[in-house]
């Protein structure tokens, strides 16, 4: 005789209590529903498609600060809606840049660098790499501490007019979404990491992050939010986030006449930005996928059928995106930033490991369709190889003029290529192939 639904539920409850295997039909159903239809437009930040039982004690609206007058009417309207500012005119926004842009419509690069007292030798290496990054011929906004500010300003050899150094957050713990997180990153998250199971011979997370690393990873989205709403002095509508250590090569390999010298002297191709934004619209950003050697191994390991989404301490299976660089429009970046923060807060409230941004990125991608678009890993051109097997990620140069239109990378909606089994999910806009415009 067939088991009744109630009998099956009781059996599952018995297994959960006696064996410790969680029974979570609601979340499994949510995952299936995400793939059941094409999602069009923007999923609200406070209405994700994948939820958990416990409510977060805070949300981005609690700790982020609205700008008095952000640049552009679209950002002003977005801010008014996000903060529920009914008393502010939705059309009120700066219409003239404070500083003339380096060229009409030019993107702005956002980055940051803060001290890590636990890793002084690593800081010296990052400062070396950072000097290459800040000397690209583009407009740049840097967030750093008062202690490092003079060092950073002296790094820029030319065009100080298009180089802004901001010290409003004097330490990484002063950045809004990191306030109150020190105990979490120092003690709670390392304990959760040690509870992970099922790695086998491959641990994609590599190691426990120290608390400063975790705080720096977490801070990126809040810095992006601040740059776009509070410090858009060039009047940009196209943005690139770049980690301070993005340019790994030694200085001699980035000299004029070398391949990397060409990349750094022609860092942005405005048309490649426009191409990305045609796919993402104002709902999200383009990020880079890890190569197979840096991701969990196994068929469909991070599709919705994976127990990485439903089994506590196996979130490591969802590890897919490299967080060193991403690009989008003003509104796309803002959507991405607040949804990452909201996902972090909810995951944290429900006991998930959140000390590595890559795990939070994956859940953000699934909870909010059309927020994360990805460049699959492939080997870059030989002159741009970095000397690290599998580490020459195309996103490092994806928006550079180097190589011309033919090098524009493939960009996918991961619901169609990663998460939804069988390739049944149809993205709202077709994925882009390599060199396709």
Assess if residue 105 is contained within a domain.
yes
Residue 21 has pLDDT above 70, yes or no: no
Mean pLDDT of the 334-343 span? 98
The pLDDT of residue 292:
74
What is the pLDDT averaged over residues 147-152? Answer: 96
Find out whether 381 and 404 touch, Cβ atoms under 8 Å: no
- Per-residue model confidence (pLDDT) at position 328: 98
Q: Kindly indicate the confidence band of residue 218, based on its pLDDT and cuts at 50, 70 and 90.
A: very high
**Is 45 within a domain?**
no
Range of the domain at 235: 100-423
Q: How many domains does the chain have?
A: 1
Residue 339 near residue 360 (C-beta atoms within 8 A): no
Residue 54, token pair as written in the block: 């416990």
| Within a domain: 85 | no
Would residue 35 count as lying in a domain?
no
Kindly list the distances between the CA atom of residue 391 and the CA atoms of 361, 387, 395, 415, in Å, as whole numbers in the listed order. Answer: 19, 8, 11, 24
CATH of the domain at 110: 3.90.550
pLDDT at 240 over 50: yes
Report yes or no on 344 lying in a domain. Answer: yes
Given pLDDT bands bounded at 50, 70 and 90, which one contains residue 119? Answer: confident
* ∠ CA 348-352-353, rounded to 5°: 100
Q: Count each helix (H run) and each strand (E run) in the chain, helices first.
A: 14, 7
pLDDT of residue 403: 86
Q: What is the pTM of this model?
A: 0.91
Which range, of 63-77, 308-322, 418-432, averages the lowest pLDDT?
308-322
| pLDDT at res. 19 | 40
Residues in the chain: 437
The reply to whether 27 falls in a domain is no
Least confident of 215-229, 249-263, 345-359: 249-263
Q: Is residue 5 part of a domain?
A: no
Instruction: Say whether pLDDT at 368 is over 50.
Output: yes
Domain contains 282: yes
Question: Residue 257 above 90 pLDDT?
Answer: no
CA-closest candidate to residue 129, choices 42, 15, 243: 243
The pLDDT value given to residue 89: 57
Residue 207 pLDDT exceeds 50:
yes
Between residues 126 and 223, the one the model is more confident about: 223
Q: How far apart are CA 132 and CA 118, in angstroms?
A: 24
């Amino acid at each position: 005789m067939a088991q009744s639904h109630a009998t099956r539920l009781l059996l599952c409850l018995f297994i959960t209590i006696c064996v410790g295997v969680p029974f979570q039909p609601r979340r499994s159903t949510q995952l299936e529903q995400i793939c059941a239809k094409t999602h069009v437009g923007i999923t609200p930040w406070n209405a994700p498609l994948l939820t958990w039982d416990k409510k977060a004690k805070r949300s981005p609206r609690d700790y982020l600060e609205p700008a008095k007058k952000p640049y552009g009417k679209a950002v002003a309207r977005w801010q008014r809606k996000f903060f529920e500012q009914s008393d502010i005119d939705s059309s009120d926004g700066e219409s003239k840049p404070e500083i003339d842009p380096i060229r009409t419509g030019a993107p702005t690069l956002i980055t940051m660098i803060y001290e890590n007292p636990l890793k002084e030798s690593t800081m010296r290496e990052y400062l070396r790499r950072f000097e290459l990054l800040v000397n690209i011929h583009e407009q740049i906004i840097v967030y750093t501490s008062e202690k490092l500010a003079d060092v950073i300003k002296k790094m820029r050899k030319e065009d100080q007019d298009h180089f802004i150094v901001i010290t409003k957050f004097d330490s990484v713990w002063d950045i809004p979404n990191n306030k109150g997180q020190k105990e979490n990153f120092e003690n709670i998250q390392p304990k959760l990491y040690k509870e992970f199971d099922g790695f086998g011979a491959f641990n994609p997370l590599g190691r426990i992050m120290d608390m400063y690393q975790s705080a720096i990873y977490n801070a990126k989205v809040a810095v992006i939010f601040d740059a776009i709403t509070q410090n858009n002095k060039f009047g940009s509508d196209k943005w690139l986030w770049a980690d301070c250590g993005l340019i790994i090569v030694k200085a001699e390999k980035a000299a004029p006449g070398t391949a990397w010298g060409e990349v750094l002297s022609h860092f942005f191709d405005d048309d490649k930005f426009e191409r990305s934004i045609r796919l993402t619209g104002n709902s999200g950003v383009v990020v880079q996928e890890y190569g197979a050697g840096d991701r969990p191994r196994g068929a469909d390991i991070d599709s919705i059928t994976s127990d990485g989404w439903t089994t506590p301490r196996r979130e490591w299976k969802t590890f897919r995106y490299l967080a060193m660089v991403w690009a989008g429009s003003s509104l796309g970046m803002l959507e991405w930033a607040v949804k990452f923060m909201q996902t972090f807060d909810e995951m944290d409230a429900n006991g998930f490991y959140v000390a590595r941004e890559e795990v939070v990125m994956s859940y953000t991608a699934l909870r909010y369709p059309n927020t994360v678009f990805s460049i699959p890993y492939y080997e870059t051109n030989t002159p741009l190889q970095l000397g690290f097997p599998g580490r020459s990620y195309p996103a490092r140069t994806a928006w550079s003029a180097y190589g011309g239109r033919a090098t524009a990378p493939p960009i996918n909606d991961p619901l169609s290529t990663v998460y939804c089994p069988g390739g049944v999910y149809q993205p709202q806009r077709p994925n882009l192939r390599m060199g396709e415009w």
